[in-house]
C-alpha cells in the first residue's frame, strides 16, 4: 500500500551532543498523536536565509545583466550559473543514484555572497561583462544576514 507521509518541522539546537527542542510542548503534543505509529526522523542543519535585498540584487542585477549580455532568459542564465559555480548534488531516483543541479536556496548567506562574487569575477574576466557591485547598503545587509558564521542561531 502506498502511503503519503505528512511532514511536520520542529526546530531545536544541539548542545553537548543532545537535541534541545524549541516549542517543546508542541513537539511533545505531536509525538503523543503518533503513539504506536511508525515514523521517520530526519535532522538537517538550518541555514541563514538571504535577505530580499540580496535576492533582488542577484536576480535584478547579476542574472539580468548576464541574461541580456548572453541572450539567455533569466531562468536559463540562473541554471547555467548554478551548473558552473555550484557543486552537483547526488540524488536517489527509483533506486538509482544520479547527479542533479544544486539549488541556491540551500546556500548559507556567506556561501551565497561568495557564489555571487565568483560570478561577478568570472563575468568580468571571461566574458568582459561588468556586473556592478551591490550598493554599500545591500552589501552591509547581506553581511548582517550572515552573522558570524552564516548559520541561523536558534538559541
**3-state class of 19 per DSSP?**
strand
With b for 16 or more beta-carbon neighbours within 10 A and e for fewer, the 101-118 pattern comes to eeebeebbbbbbbebbee
Q: What is the pLDDT of residues 18-68, one digit of tens each?
A: 888 877 888 888 889 889 999 888 887 766 667 788 889 999 999 999 999
Evaluate whether residue 62 is within a structural domain: yes
Predicted local distance difference test score (pLDDT) of residue 152: 33
Evaluate whether residue 56 is within a structural domain: yes
**Residue 61, domain extent:** 52-146
∠ CA 56-117-122 to the nearest 5 degrees?
115
Distance, CA of 50 to CA of 64 (rounded, Å): 18
Evaluate whether residue 129 is within a structural domain: yes
Alpha helices in the chain (DSSP H): 24-33, 52-57, 64-70, 74-85, 109-122, 136-146
- Angle, helices 109-122 vs 74-85, to 10°: value is 100
Tell me the average pLDDT across 61-84. 96
Distance, CA of 127 to CA of 84 (rounded, Å): 14
Evaluate whether residue 13 is within a structural domain: no
Evaluate whether residue 1 is within a structural domain: no
Contacts of 25 (CB under 8 A, 6+ apart): none
pTM of the model: 0.58
Distance, CA of 61 to CA of 67 (rounded, Å): 10
Q: Is the pLDDT of residue 14 over 80?
A: yes
Evaluate whether residue 18 is within a structural domain: no
Domain count, the chain: 1
Distance, CA of 61 to CA of 74 (rounded, Å): 11
Evaluate whether residue 14 is within a structural domain: no
Amino acid at each position: 500500500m502506498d502511503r503519503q507521509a505528512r511532514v511536520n518541522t520542529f526546530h531545536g539546537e544541539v548542545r553537548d551532543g543532545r537535541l534541545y527542542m524549541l516549542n517543546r510542548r508542541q513537539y511533545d503534543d505531536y509525538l503523543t498523536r503518533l503513539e504506536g505509529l511508525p515514523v521517520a526522523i530526519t535532522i538537517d542543519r538550518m541555514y541563514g536565509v538571504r535577505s530580499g535585498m540580496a535576492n533582488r540584487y542577484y536576480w535584478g542585477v547579476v542574472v539580468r545583466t548576464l541574461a541580456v549580455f548572453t541572450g539567455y532568459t533569466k531562468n536559463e542564465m540562473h541554471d547555467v550559473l548554478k551548473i558552473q559555480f555550484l557543486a552537483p548534488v547526488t540524488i536517489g531516483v527509483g533506486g538509482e543514484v544520479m547527479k542533479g543541479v544544486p539549488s541556491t536556496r540551500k546556500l548559507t548567506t556567506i556561501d551565497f555572497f561568495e557564489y555571487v562574487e565568483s560570478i561577478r569575477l568570472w563575468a568580468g574576466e571571461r566574458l568582459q561583462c561588468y556586473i556592478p557591485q551591490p550598493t554599500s547598503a545591500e552589501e552591509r545587509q547581506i553581511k548582517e544576514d550572515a552573522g558570524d558564521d552564516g548559520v541561523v542561531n536558534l538559541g
